[in-house]
Amino acid sequence: MLWIGPLAGAILCSRGGLLGAFLGSLLGGWIERRIREERWRARGERRSPRQRANPLADAYRTLGVKPGASKSAVRRAYHALAKKYHPDILRASGASEHEVSEATEKMSRVNAAWNIIENQ
């Protein structure tokens, strides 16, 4: 946690009373969010920490269905992705080892998404 919000609130409180403290905390919070966003962008992450904090939404996104989709729609999406990315199926079709290793990673994400949605 950064210290800009409380500091800005304290400085403006000494000058502007309660309204100054309120505006200072709002301004400080905005500045803190901007600094955090710049930090995760500098690390090359595609999504903000707030977007990563919802594993259920990530699971639905991984399976390619809308959040709150019916169990049968989730099951159909899972089976379609399993047919597409299952390593044994790809090996049988003559895929290269690089393609199989990428599909194995994708299949592990699909399985994790399936488990999250099923256990909700």
Mean pLDDT value across residues 35-42: 78
62 and 95, same domain (yes or no)? yes
pTM of the model: 0.57
Residues 6+ apart with CB under 8 A from 95: 103
pLDDT at position 38 is 81
Q: Which residue range forms the structural domain that includes residue 96?
A: 54-118
58 and 38, same domain (yes or no)? no
Per the model's pLDDT, the better-predicted residue between 36 and 72 turns out to be: 72
As for how many domains the chain has, the answer is: 2
Residues 6+ apart with CB under 8 A from 113: 58, 59, 60, 62, 63, 78
Mean residue pLDDT across the chain: 83
pLDDT at position 81 is 95
Band the pLDDT of 72: cuts 50, 70, 90: very high
Q: b/e map of 44-81 (b: 16 or more CB within 10 Å)?
A: eeeeeeeeeeeeeebbbebbebeeebeeeebbebbeeb
The CATH number of residue 89's host domain is: 1.10.287.110
Lowest mean pLDDT among 36-40, 54-58, 111-115: 36-40
Tokens 């999504």 correspond to: 47
Per the model's pLDDT, the better-predicted residue between 104 and 47 turns out to be: 104
